[in-house]
Structure 1
Amino acid sequence: MSFSTEERGAPNTRDHRVYFKNSSGEFISPFHDIPAYANEAENIFHAVVEVPRWTNAKMEDVKNGNLRYVANVFPHKGYIWNYGAIPQTWEDPNHRDEDTGCCGDNDPIDICDIGDKVCSRGEIIKVKALGTLALIDEGETDWKVIVINTEDPEASDFNNIDDVRRLKPGYLEATVDWFKRYKVPDGKPENQFAFNGEFKDRDFAIKTIKSTHEFWKALVSKATDAGGLNCMNTSLSGSPFCCSAWEAKAVVESTAAVGAEDAIPTSVYKWFYYEK
């Protein structure tokens, strides 16, 4: 199974889009048409890279009409992992998690890929889950699953969260620090965590991914309210949101053609310093 992307609009503008295609060249939804599992028997998942390591642009976000860039909070430059999501998962905002006591954040489950490769935006990678951190973001449960790309040269050495602690000392502590403080430059308080900021292990992470996959099934079958989420897909024949390849292509062709890249605002390169 292979995937490709097509850009539309001018990069670093509000018109910029990255669309996904399947191996037949037909447009698909990265949320709904890419399988959650790359190998279900071995608990290998697909992940869509949204933000490559060391970059700042939050591709899916617009704030007050402007593109959103995450701040550099010393000593972190942009995102400190390849950041993205597992398709066909959904953190249900109507479900109160029994472990965190908070409802979901209405998004696919997030991943932090700790592999050495700096991925490209829109790249689809196969990952294994190592553990998870339960961020409480403005009162919502926002799981951050620590994963490693299965193509990483050292992937076989990483099988649980303790392997990250042992082989990449400081990385987990930096991850907690990053998520705690990344919104402070926007005038918001530090984020909080369930479990006192402790990481849960591989089995817990896999259980969490699987539960959010079940929530997603309810979402695309209209067994639960989708709210404002776009559930349009091209491959789920039993879904009331399923559309034809022609309809998907029409959506893409209605957007602006790819254009020259705009400059990134110089404010993105500013550093912020806070006492821990």
Structure 2
Amino acid sequence: MSFTVEERGNPNTLGYRLFFKNAEGKYISPFHDIPMYADESRSIFNMVVEVPRWTNAKMEIATKDILNPIKQDVKKGKLRYVANVFPHKGYIWNYGAIPQTWEDPAHKDGDTGCCGDNDPVDVCEIGSKVYSRGEVIKVKVLGVLAMIDEGETDWKVIAINVEDPEANDLNNISDVQRLKPGYLEATVDWFRRYKVPDGKPENQFAFNGEFKDKDFAIEVIKNTHNFWKSLISQQANAGELSCKNTCVSACDSPYCCSADEAKTAVGETCPCGKEEPIPSSVDKWYYYERK
């Protein structure tokens, strides 16, 4: 199963969008139409890459837009970039999401005591390659971190591309601790402090910031997949989320998006144009003592 992307609008602008197509050239939603599993028998999952490692633009699946293209997050009318909080330059892993998962904001997690953040489950891919925005890669799960972001549960799955040269040696979170010393500590540090330059407090974590193992992580993913099933079958309140899809819902469902409707939605955006420069302020470094 292969997927391609189509750029619309000018990169590094408010109008930039990245739409997805399947192997037949049909427009799809990366949130709803890409299967969660790449190989269920081996517990291999699909991951949609939103942010390549070392970059700063806070790109994400637009859960409230029709067909859920990738776009850059916006705050107070301006594009969002994560700060370089020394010693971390941009995102320190390939960052993305597992499709067909949803952290239900109406469900209070029994382990964290907090409700979900209304997004697909986030993934940090820790392999050796830098991937491109919009790539769909096959990953095996190694563990998970439970971040509490402004009172909401925000799981961060640690995974590696199954085709990575290091993949055979990394099978659980303990392998990461052994073979990549300092990486998990850096990951907690990154998530703890990345919002501080924006004037926000440090993020907190369940389990005292300890990573849970592969089995725990897979259970989290399965649970959020069940929440997504409730969402797409209209058993859960979608709120402002766009559940339109071209492959999953039956044609009599209000969530079914026809090929013509999908083409119209993409056509209403601007064609891909000249890339605008990234503001020089994005290269600024921030320093402050850990608490």
Q: TM-score, with normalisation over the residues of structure 2?
A: 0.94
Aligned residues: 276
What is the rounded CA distance, in whole Å, between the counterparts of 2:142 and 2:227 in structure 1?
22
Matches within 5 A, 1:69-218: 69-218=81-230
Aligned residue for 2:212, secondary structure, equals coil
Aligned residue among 270, 277, 280 for 1:266: 280
Matched, 1:36 2:36: yes
CA contact (8 A) 1:220 1:240 kept: no
What is the rounded CA distance, in whole Å, between the counterparts of 1:54 and 1:237 in structure 2?
37
CA contact (8 A) 2:232 2:249 kept: no
What is the rounded CA distance, in whole Å, between the counterparts of 2:249 and 2:203 in structure 1?
40
Amino acid at match of 2:266: V
What is the rounded CA distance, in whole Å, between the counterparts of 1:175 and 1:255 in structure 2?
36
What is the rounded CA distance, in whole Å, between the counterparts of 1:269 and 1:164 in structure 2?
29
Amino acid at match of 1:6: E
Q: CA deviation at 1:240?
A: 3.3
Partner of 2:13 in structure 1?
Answer: 13
What is the rounded CA distance, in whole Å, between the counterparts of 1:154 and 1:191 in structure 2?
30
Deviation string, structure 1 residues 148-206 (Cα, Å, up to 9, x no partner):
00110111111100000011111000000000000000000000000000000000000
Q: CA deviation at 1:249?
A: 1.1
Amino acid at match of 2:214: R
CA contact (8 A) 1:222 1:240 kept: no
What is the rounded CA distance, in whole Å, between the counterparts of 1:193 and 1:172 in structure 2?
14
What is the rounded CA distance, in whole Å, between the counterparts of 1:204 and 1:157 in structure 2?
20
Amino acid at match of 2:281: S
User: What RMSD, in angstroms, separates the aligned Cα atoms of the two structures?
Assistant: 0.7
Deviation string, structure 1 residues 126-147 (Cα, Å, up to 9, x no partner):
0010000000000000000000
Aligned residue for 1:69, secondary structure, equals coil
CA contact (8 A) 1:81 1:113 kept: yes
Aligned residue for 1:217, secondary structure, equals helix
Aligned residue for 2:105, secondary structure, equals coil
What is the rounded CA distance, in whole Å, between the counterparts of 1:160 and 1:59 in structure 2?
28
Q: CA deviation at 1:246?
A: 1.6
Amino acid at match of 1:109: V
Partner of 2:63 in structure 1?
Answer: none
Matched, 1:53 2:48: no
Partner of 2:258 in structure 1?
Answer: 244
Aligned residue for 1:57, secondary structure, equals coil
Partner of 2:234 in structure 1?
Answer: 222
Q: Percent identity?
A: 74
Amino acid at match of 1:83: Y
Amino acid at match of 2:119: D
CA contact (8 A) 1:86 1:109 kept: yes
What is the rounded CA distance, in whole Å, between the counterparts of 1:154 and 1:133 in structure 2?
21
What is the rounded CA distance, in whole Å, between the counterparts of 1:186 and 1:124 in structure 2?
31
What is the rounded CA distance, in whole Å, between the counterparts of 2:222 and 2:281 in structure 1?
39
